[in-house]
Amino acid sequence: QVQLVESGGGSVQAGGSLRLSCAASGYTYSSYYMGWFRQAPGKEREGVAAIDHYGTTVYAESVKGRFAISKDHAKNTLYLQANSLKPEDTAMYYCAAASRPLWGTLRLSATSYTYWGQGTQVTVSS
């Protein structure tokens, strides 16, 4: 059974940083993409960043240059380093893992991912 557990969320002021973690267990599709998504109240879930086994990454335009996704294969843990945070980054952040190959825009599409964590809240105040 695949389990994804996020941690590291919290409340910060604008300009601050957070490091989100996602511990994965039971996930056997390690060569496929894993990603971070977020959902603010009243909005659709949106892709933030994704990474595959080989280190290929993709980012949403809104976070390019501020966020960095990485993966520790030995620890089966996915990370999201979020810097220069803005109030509009406030959302519930979810870790997700795919069970099939992804490419192009599929990599940041929520419907492409099979497994999901419970989420960790990020709140950025101005």
User: Is residue 3 very low, low, confident or very high in pLDDT (cuts 50, 70, 90)?
Assistant: very high
Per-residue pLDDT reduced to its tens digit, 24-78 = 998 877 779 999 999 999 999 999 999 999 999 999 999 999 999 999 999 999 9
Q: Is residue 81's pLDDT more than 90?
A: yes
| Region of 57 on the Ramachandran plot (φ > 0 left; ψ -120 to 50 alpha; else beta) | beta
Residues 83-97 have a mean pLDDT of 98
Kindly state the DSSP code that residue 5 receives in the 8-state scheme.
E
d(CA 8, CA 95): 12
Per-residue pLDDT at 28: 78
Q: Residue 2: how many CA atoms within 13 Å on its side-chain side?
A: 19
| Mean confidence (pLDDT) of the chain | 96
Dihedral sign of CA atoms 44, 27, 99, 1 in order: negative
